[in-house]
């Protein structure tokens, strides 16, 4: 599951509710979820778009490294790696 900005906060809010979706990997991009909720086990990665804020807030979607990182973590979290090529190949 991928949540961008406020969407990252929304997905973190969704997971403790009754009957949450099954999530193999949660990716929040441009979100303050770890800070607001004190989430443990966070792996912070950098995909530098080399542009100043506020342009940088969405510019990482233009940086191939963003999708490489998502793909790498997808492979680590999925026992069979299903779907990882779809994410990493974008």
Q: What's the total number of domains in the chain? A: 2
CA-to-CA dists, residue 81 to 11, 17, 39, 41, 78, angstroms: 23, 27, 25, 21, 5
Rounded Cα distance between 67 and 61, Å, is 8
Same-domain pairing of 49 and 38:
no
> What pLDDT score does 41 carry?
67
Same-domain pairing of 28 and 58:
no
Same-domain pairing of 29 and 54:
no
Per the structure, the complete domain to which residue 36 belongs is given by 1-42
Same-domain pairing of 49 and 75:
yes
Instruction: Show pLDDT as tens, one digit a residue, over the chain (90 residues).
Output: 888 889 988 988 888 899 988 888 888 888 877 677 676 667 778 888 899 988 888 898 999 999 999 888 888 886 665 554 444 333
> What pLDDT score does 59 carry?
92
Same-domain pairing of 58 and 33:
no
> What pLDDT score does 85 carry?
42
pTM (predicted TM-score): 0.68
Same-domain pairing of 32 and 68:
no
């Amino acid at each position: 599951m991928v949540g961008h900005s406020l969407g990252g906060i929304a997905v973190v809010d969704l997971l403790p509710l009754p009957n949450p979706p099954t999530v193999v990997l949660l990716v929040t991009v441009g979100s303050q979820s770890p800070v607001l909720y004190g989430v443990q086990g966070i792996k912070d990665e950098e995909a530098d778009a080399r542009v100043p804020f506020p342009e940088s807030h969405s510019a990482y979607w233009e940086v191939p490294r963003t999708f490489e990182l998502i793909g790498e973590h997808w492979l680590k979290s999925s026992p069979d790696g299903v779907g990882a090529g779809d994410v990493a190949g974008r």
